[in-house]
Structure 1
Amino acid sequence: MTIQSSATRRRHRTVAATAALGALLAVSACAGGTSVGEAPGGDEVVDGQGEVTGSARLAWWGAGQRNEVTNAVADMFEEEHEGVTIEREFADFGAYFQRLNVQGTSGNLPCLTQMQGRQLNDYTSRNLFLPLDPMIESGAIDVSDIPEEVLDTGRGTDGNLYVVPYGAAYDALVVNETLVEQAGSEMLPEGYTWEDLQSWAMEMQPNLPEGVSALSLSGGRPNFLISYMAAKGETLFKDGKLGFSEEALAEYWTMWEEMRKAGATATPAQMSEQPEQPEQSYVSRGVTVADTAPGNSIINSQATLDGLGNGQTLTSLPLPAGEAGPGNVLFTSGFAIPVNCDNVPTAAAFIDFWANDDEAAAVFASSNGAVTNSRHLEAQLENPELPELRKHDLELYQQIAESEPPTVVYPPGYQATFEESYTRAYERVSFGEVSIEQAVSEFFTEVNAGLGATG
């Protein structure tokens, strides 16, 4: 039996919530007539122009400090628009999407719905969101300071823009500089490749302290695979199916198995026990030298290391490059406007305010990914009080954004179908339950049957 990590259990909960959306929405779509949330006539163009007044519901996921700054920005918008009320709803990530699933089926989505690209097309495939391109063309929403590659992460499979991204996340390679130096190795060079990473880890491993691995075993992490395929120039998804080849996936898993069998990674059993929080990961505790993690997690990871009192320091690098160039892709969060919204002008004005107001950006301070507005990013980087690791995080995002990263448009069913299946498939390989060839074949069959399914 495959041991199930806490991270995998968390994915199961999130995937279950996302899968419920497909099931609930399929009922409404397959029942005949107009889909839930579909605009009258289906082709109505909404340009966002009109009086900014009345109330609009705002929904987001988060807790603690993120809630405080989100509320602060909403307060600022209300102060600027006398008589306007922003009604607020928030929950943690899993509960947030569970609630959206119910609201989506009843045509009751908040006028300002926070969304990520990985879930977006579960909603656009049901005509639940308004295209925002007409609102940009009319001037209701200004996106001139958001790089095109970043803006495009808010597009659906039909090419329309449904989300204006305000925060951009990326994955980095977090590296323990102290352990690298103690092992007598050099840091990975700029523009390093996946082959460089493999050689670096295997050559460093014999010189590391007992119980320390060069890398975590990350062959089952979806974001790492996406980076690998992007660096190879492979298409991630095409026509609602997997766009890369079975041979490319087999090659990728073979690389990880070579490192695992050479002892250069943590073991499968160790990975099953790793806490789900990045700040408690093995690289955060000096148990592995390097691991992939959200770029902004380095701040909390360093705090964990500092608490151990071993004097070790972390840094972060872009993910490996390949023949097609840099491998990083961006994962953005932003706001969408549902077709059931009865106050589109106010919703559009709020998105415009969030994206462009200098004081609001300073208050929110990249609390959900690096700010996507380039002017605001520069202002934050120039802040002399910005902590050094936070500055490093934002500068690395800026470097990745300027490299024109590939845009990944996730098909409907991605979260419910792809991530859990992928992690489970590689776990079976790493525990020796199936061959790479069998796991690849079964993964493609399973995922291609589920991706793009809309009922």
Structure 2
Amino acid sequence: MFTSHRPSRRAAGVAAGLLALALAGCTGGTSVGGQAAAEGATGEDAGLGDVTGDIRLSFWGSGLRVEKTNGVSDLFTAANPGVTVTPNFTDFSAYFQKLNIEATSGNMACVVQLQGRQLNDYASKGLLTDLQPLIDSGAIDVGDIPEDVLDTGRGTDGKLYEIPYGAAYDAIMVNTTLAEQAGVGLPPDGYTWDDFVSYLQRAATGLPEGVAAANLGGTLPNYFIEYVRAHGEELFEDGQAAFSEDRLVEFWEMWEQLRQAGVTTTAQDEAAEPPQVEQSYVATGRSMLDNKPGNQLGQARGALAGAAPGQELTTVQLPSGPDGGSGTVLFTSGWSIPTSCDNVPTAAAYIDFWINDPEANKLFASNNGANTNTVQLQAQLEDPALDPATRQALELFQQIVEDEPPTVLYPAGYQANFETAFTRAYEDIALNGADVRATAQSFIASLNSALAAAQ
């Protein structure tokens, strides 16, 4: 089962501090091959040549993830005699600390794993190669990756710095048993945010004592990102917040109205909720629904079977905007090539193999996000042994892609300065009674100042 990472407040803060120290004044050393690719050359000028020699591969993971990744590397080296792939991995919480140290010393691996949320912390410092020339030359084939998915690997300058291979996403996880008991069933296809609020209000009147219609969502930065994009607005432009103060006030006031009416969990309960999905309120029968990564359905179902036998969970897309625009944002993981790489031909061949080889994709089996290659994803879905929760997660991903999900390009400094601050700002409102508009004004001003400093 694939996993989605919501970085902890501590991890985000430590990574931000290390990145600032590591990249201060860094212009990014380049090799001959990497420099040519970064400057937009193609063919042999882009560093293409014999696929041979050693490359290092930098990724996060443990246990099964490491076994599967090393297994793909073994398949690649078997198909390319004379090539070796040296793994360089750690768990997610320590990964970016290590990567930042390697970046400042010019010692990044030739293939590094990144997510869109951290991509521009490196691309904006000139540390990553523009991969479009390698696509144009035929070294990397992305023909089976939908454009909306591929675009999640772009920097704020529009260049492609990451080839996404796995896509995570948030979904509305619904306890179908409680929803039927409350007389509301599942939200209908194409429901809007206004419909969502009405749905929760109706459900609250028919639920058992002690069960909330929803977990309080005002602290979740992803919820807000998805709310903004569903309404057709950009999150960031030119390294600054592009969402309006009014939109942020609207979002927080929506959750405050639901909280004060008793439709959601209390602010105290939400703050005390354990981070593990197995102990979350939706997975233990204390709330009818919540925003959760779609890939956590299997874990949540297992927990609910023990906590409330007979109750069932499923996932649906997030609400649409008033004009029907999708609000489900993809959070992709993918491969990048640093400009310091001295073996671009082999690095490009490795990424191409990972994306397109059937045996490699069968082995990895969407272990870090739904397979972004539509052909390989369909092959996985056609496996009769695929477990029901994974099938639901992958099929919902297919629906999301069909609905043309909006893209968010995160500026340098996003991870360090948005998510934790957003959570704390709403907690100040819900727990301490802070004024919503004043809090929104302060949050945006502080965010823009921090983002400007990170450019």
- TM class by shorter chain equals over 0.9
Aligned to 1:323: 322
2:334 is the counterpart of 1:334: yes
CA distance in 1, matches of 2:355, 2:47: 15
Shift of 1:36: 4.8
| Cα deviation code 1:272-312 (max 9, x no counterpart) | 11111223211011111000011110111001111235211
Question: Secondary structure in 1 aligned to 2:48?
Answer: coil
Aligned to 1:128: 127
Shift of 1:44: 6.7
Letter in structure 1 aligned against 2:249: A
| Cα deviation code 1:66-98 (max 9, x no counterpart) | 111111111111111112111001111120011
Aligned to 2:142: 143
Assess if the C-alpha contact under 8 Å between 2:35 and 2:339 holds in 1.
no
Partner of residue 27 from structure 1, selected from 10, 18, 24: 24
Sort the Cα spacing of 1:10 and 1:163 in 2 relative to 1 into closer, same or farther, 3 A: closer
Letter in structure 1 aligned against 2:77: E
Structure 2, unaligned runs of 5 or more: 1-5
Letter in structure 1 aligned against 2:386: L
CA distance in 2, matches of 1:256, 1:62: 35
Structure 1, unaligned runs of 5 or more: 1-8
Letter in structure 2 aligned against 1:353: F
CA distance in 2, matches of 1:444, 1:454: 15
What are the equivalent positions in structure 2 for 1:262-411 lying under 5 Å apart? 262-308=261-307, 310-324=309-323, 325-411=325-411
| Cα deviation code 1:375-418 (max 9, x no counterpart) | 01111111111112211110100010111111110000000011
Shift of 1:436: 0.3
What are the equivalent positions in structure 2 for 1:32-431 lying under 5 Å apart? 34-36=27-29, 43=39, 45=41, 47-308=46-307, 310-324=309-323, 325-431=325-431
Shift of 1:17: 2.9
Shift of 1:135: 0.3
TM-score, normalization: structure 2? Answer: 0.94
Assess if the C-alpha contact under 8 Å between 1:63 and 1:91 holds in 2.
yes
Question: Secondary structure in 2 aligned to 1:283?
Answer: coil
Letter in structure 2 aligned against 1:430: A
CA distance in 1, matches of 2:79, 2:135: 21
Sort the Cα spacing of 1:309 and 1:214 in 2 relative to 1 into closer, same or farther, 3 A: closer
Question: Secondary structure in 2 aligned to 1:191?
Answer: coil
CA distance in 2, matches of 1:376, 1:168: 13
CA distance in 1, matches of 2:342, 2:186: 55
Sort the Cα spacing of 1:186 and 1:54 in 2 relative to 1 into closer, same or farther, 3 A: same
| Cα deviation code 1:253-289 (max 9, x no counterpart) | 1110000001111111111111112232110111110
Question: Secondary structure in 1 aligned to 2:209?
Answer: coil
Sort the Cα spacing of 1:359 and 1:26 in 2 relative to 1 into closer, same or farther, 3 A: closer
Letter in structure 1 aligned against 2:267: P
Shift of 1:452: 4.4
CA distance in 1, matches of 2:372, 2:453: 31
Letter in structure 2 aligned against 1:381: L
| Cα deviation code 1:127-146 (max 9, x no counterpart) | 00111000000110000000
CA distance in 2, matches of 1:67, 1:286: 34
| Aligned-residue RMSD, C-alpha | 1.7
